[in-house]
Amino acid sequence: MSASKIPDVVLQSSSSHHKMPVIGFGTASTSSTNDTKEAVLEAIKVGYRHFDTASIYGSEEPLGEAIAEALQLGLIASRDELFITSKLWCTHNFPHLVLPAIHKTLQSLNLEYLDLYLIHWPISVKPGIWEFPYSEEALTSFDLKGVWKAMEECKNLGLTKCIGVSNFSCNKLEKLLSFATIPPSVNQVEMNPTWQQKKLLQYCQAKGIIITAYSPLGAPGAMWGSNNVLDNELLKEIAKTHGKSFAQVSIRWLYELGVTVAVKSYNKERMKQNIEIFDWSLFKDDYEKIAQVQQHQMCKNGPTKFIADLWDGEN
Ligand code: A2P
C-alpha cells in the first residue's frame, strides 16, 4: 500500500493552502509509549501519512521517535511527507500560554513545525490542575479571542502550517469567525453513524471548515467510548452486503460525506483494513439505513460536566 492511495483534502488557511490526507492515524491510547512508537512505524509502512496527537495524550514523544526512526530507515524521505496534528490542552487555553505550549509540543515531537494545531476544547482550566474530570472550581473563563490571536501568531511564526479547533459548536465557530484574521481550517469533533451531527457538518461545509471525525468507530474499548457502532445491526447488514467490515462502512460513509477521520488501531491488520476504503462505494439505500441509526453522543461532557453551554444546546 503506497501513501498515494490515501487522498488529500486542501485546507484553507488565510492565503495559504495545505494538503491533509483524509485519513489520519489516531494516537489517543492507553498503550505504552513503545507500543505507540511501533504502531506508528507500522502505520507509516502500510501507508498512513497523517498522525493525530495532543499534549494530553502522552503520545507526542513516541510519535516523534517513530518519525525519526522512519526517516533513518528510509520509510519516508523527509518530514514534509507527513501531516502532524497536535492540540492545545485546556490548562494552556490562555493567550500567554499558547506559545509556550506549542514550543513544548514541538520539543516533545522533536519537530520544527506542526501541520495543524488545534484548540482541544473551548474550556479554560486553571494552570497546574491535573485532577480529572475537572471540578467546577478548576474552571475559569475562556478568552477565545485572545487565545485565537495567539494561535494565529503560532501560524505567522511558522510553528504550524494551519490552525483550527476541536469540539466547537456552530455557535462557537460563528463567534470565532466574527473576529478571526485567519479562519480555522479544521474542527475536529466526535462523528460516526451513531453521532451524525448533520447541522454542524452543513455549517462547516458552508464556511470551508474541514471536519475531522474523532471516534469514527465509536472508540470501542476506550474510556469514553462505546460499542454502539461496532454492534449496530444496520451497519453489520451494510457491511455484509459489500463484503466489508463495520469499520470500513463507517469510514467510507464519513469519507463520502466529505469528512476526514482520525482512526485508531494499533493492530496491523485493522490499521490496513481501515484505509482500504477507496475502491468501492456505498449504495443509496445504505444512506437511508444509516439515517435510521439511533443517535448517541459519547463526549457530551468533555473534560468536565460543569460547562452548561459546551454544545450551546445544538445537540
Ligand atoms: P485496536 O487498536 O485493537 O485495533 P476509534 O478510532 O473510533 O477511536 O476506535 C478505536 C478503537 O477501535 C480501538 O480500540 C481499536 O482497537 C478499534 N478498531 C480500530 N479499527 C478497527 C477495525 N477495523 N475493526 C474493529 N475494531 C477496530
DSSP state string for 13-34: ETTEEEEEESEEEE---SS-HH
Checking phi first, is residue 105 left (phi over 0); if not, alpha (psi -120 to 50) or beta? alpha
- Average confidence score pLDDT of the chain: 94
Q: Which atom of ligand 1 is nearest to the CA of 221?
A: 14
The mean pLDDT of 54-64, rounded to a whole number, is: 96
131-143 pLDDT per residue, tens:
888 999 999 999 9
For 33, 53, 105, 207, the CA distances from 57, given in Å and listed in that order, are: 10, 7, 11, 29
The mean pLDDT of 238-248, rounded to a whole number, is: 97
Q: Which of 48, 57, 117, 134 is catalytic?
A: 57
More confidently predicted of 1 and 231:
231
89-128 pLDDT per residue, tens:
999 999 999 999 999 999 999 999 999 999 999 999 999 8
- Residue 14 has what pLDDT? 63
Residue 303 is assigned to a structural domain of this protein: no
Q: Which atom of ligand 1 is nearest to the CA of 262?
A: 6
Residue 308 is assigned to a structural domain of this protein: no
Residue whose CB lies within 8 A of the most ligand 1 atoms, among 267, 271, 273, 275, for a mutation test: 267
- Ligand 1 in contact with 191 (CB < 6 A)? no
CA 35: distance to chain centroid? 20
Going from the Cα of 266 to the center of ligand 1, the distance in angstroms, rounded, reads 8
- Residue 4 has what pLDDT? 45
157-172 pLDDT per residue, tens:
999 999 999 999 999 9
For 13, 202, 256, 274, 287, the CA distances from 263, given in Å and listed in that order, are: 24, 22, 16, 8, 21
Residue 159 is assigned to a structural domain of this protein: yes
Residue 298 is assigned to a structural domain of this protein: no
Residue 301 is assigned to a structural domain of this protein: no
Active site residue 48: no
User: How many domains are contained in the chain?
Assistant: 1
CA 146: distance to chain centroid? 23
- Ligand 1 in contact with 51 (CB < 6 A)? no
Q: Which atom of ligand 1 is nearest to the CA of 263?
A: 6
Residue 185 is assigned to a structural domain of this protein: yes
Going from the Cα of 265 to the center of ligand 1, the distance in angstroms, rounded, reads 5
Residue 125 is assigned to a structural domain of this protein: yes
CB 304 within 8 A of CB 120: no
Residue 23 is assigned to a structural domain of this protein: yes
Write down the pTM of the prediction: 0.96
Domain with 253, as residue range(s), is 3-291
250-269 pLDDT per residue, tens:
999 999 999 999 999 999 99
For residue 217, the domain's CATH number is: 3.20.20.100
- Ligand 1 in contact with 245 (CB < 6 A)? yes
